[in-house]
Amino acid sequence: MAGRRYDQGRVKEYWQHVWDREDVYEFDDDTEDPTYVLGMFPYTSGNLHMGHVRNYTITDAYARYRRMQGEEVLTPMGWDAFGLPAENAAYERRTDPRAWTQLCIDRMREGMESLGFGYDWSREIRTCDAEYYRWNQYFFREFYEAGLVEYEAATVNWCPDCETVLADAQVVEVSDADPHDGDPFDGTEVCWRCETPVDRRELDQWFFTITDYAEELLDGLDDLEGWPESVREIQRNWIGKQEGARVAFDVEHAGDGVDEVDVFTTRLDTIAGATYLAVSPEHDLAGALAQSHEDVAAFIEAATAEADDDDAAARSTTSPRRSSWNPRRMTVTPGTGTTPTRASRSRSPTKEC
Ligand SMILES: [Zn+2]
């Protein structure tokens, strides 16, 4: 081979052409006992980045390994292309969401093809196709008819930039190398997609009552073979089951028909030591008290204004960081918005009642 240089570009192109011509990655529906390897469907941002390359190289190497062991392997690819992020991206560019999404898909597929990943492109999925999302609608209807979805108001994580609700798992904390340097920005909660500080909002929402299955999900984790304990623990925390008690406290003179307030506690045994209740500014009781107590009304207004200021600050800067402390984020107990507290331990901006 002396004198002949290895031209990886030409070799790559040649073999990718051969794979394509021979349909080597097309998968036969009649295959018995197939192996299914799915990386994940990327969001259609329009550009492949090194994170994609790492992700899909790992799954591709694994699929090839299984093929080389003589197995029939199905490796599909598709696009997570539905919803507000795609619409917002199109809006920013003053273009049609469908055209924009399609352009992004074409660009990303081209990148994947040039990397030589062994996908069966005849099975490509786009979640924005009616042919695909009609199944989402079908499932939603099934859940609805089975009584497993509810519509109610709740405080949610809101990204002001994406203009969308975020699941808890989509909210990440800003942190840096030194957690003890007193940097006031550390711990700021930001959107995983665009790093804009996350706001809390009261919105009417559909909820899947997965809590009905918490016990079953937890039990199922014990049966998972070969899963690291750390991953199982993450799953347990995500399910978030807490055992405790709901306790009703009588409230006098609150007004507006509020005569009792529900509290959730995991430590019922310490309830006798509670000296006051901390109530979030959006709690019904706070609203009722505000009608007859000017100081309460002023506090709620200040808390709300501070949250609004935070929003404005967040919008006016490209930095994902902000320092101000937001009292609307205090006070958390599952589903009640109250917490029983002992005075000596409390540093919350609370109102006694
Ligand atoms: Zn965002």
Centre of ligand 1 to C-alpha 311, Å, is 13
- What confidence score (pLDDT) does residue 351 get? 32
**How far are the Cα atoms of 89, 174, 183, 186, 191 from residue 178, in angstroms, in the given order?**
35, 12, 9, 9, 22
pTM recorded for the entire structure: 0.59
84-92 helix and 97-114 helix, angle to the nearest 10 degrees = 100
Tell me the three state secondary structure of residue 81. Answer: coil
Report how far residue 136's alpha carbon sits from residue 80's, in angstroms, rounded to the nearest whole number.
13
151 three-class SS = strand
Tokens of 29: 């529906």
Which overall architecture, per CATH, does domain 8-125 show? 3-Layer(aba) Sandwich (3.40)
Residue 88 Cα to ligand 1 middle (Å):
10
Evaluate whether 8-125 and 134-239 have a shared fold: no
Largest CA distance in the chain: 96
Distance from residue 208's CA to the centre of ligand 1 (Å): 23
What is the distance in A from the centroid of ligand 1 to the CA of 314? 11
Token digits of residue 222: 């014990």
pLDDT value of position 58: 96
How far CA 143 is from CA of 97, 209, 241, 247, 323, in Å, comes to 29, 9, 22, 31, 42
Structure tokens at 206: 């559909």
Query: In tens digits, what is the pLDDT along the chain, a chain of 353 residues?
Result: 556 889 998 999 999 999 989 998 999 899 988 999 999 999 888 888 999 999 999 999 999 999 999 999 999 999 999 877 777 778 888 889 889 999 999 999 999 999 999 999 999 999 999 999 999 999 999 999 999 999 988 888 999 988 888 888 889 888 655 556 665 556 788 998 888 999 988 888 888 888 888 899 999 998 988 899 999 999 888 888 778 888 888 887 777 777 888 888 888 888 888 888 888 887 888 888 888 889 888 888 887 766 555 544 443 333 322 222 233 333 333 445 555 544 333 333 333 33
Whole-number Å distance, alpha carbon 25 to ligand 1 midpoint, is: 36
Write the burial class of residue 67 (CB in 10 Å: 0-12 exposed, 13-18 middle, 19+ buried): middle
Cα of 193 to ligand 1 centre, how many Å?
Answer: 5
Quick: pLDDT tens for 89-130: 788 888 898 899 999 999 999 999 999 999 999 999 999 999
**Sequence spans of domains, the chain:** 8-125, 134-239, 245-345
Q: Please list all protein residues whose beta carbon sits less than 5 angstroms from ligand 1, which is an ion.
A: 159, 161-162, 191, 193-194, 196
Fold of 134-239: Methionyl-trna Synthetase; domain 2 (2.170.220)
Separation of 317 CA from ligand 1 center, angstroms?
14
Q: Are 117 and 19 in contact (CB under 8 A)?
A: no
- By three-state DSSP, how is residue 126 classified? strand
Distance 195 CA to ligand 1 centre (A): 6
pLDDT single digits (tens) 55-67? 999 999 999 999 9
Cα gap 29→26, rounded to integer Å: 10
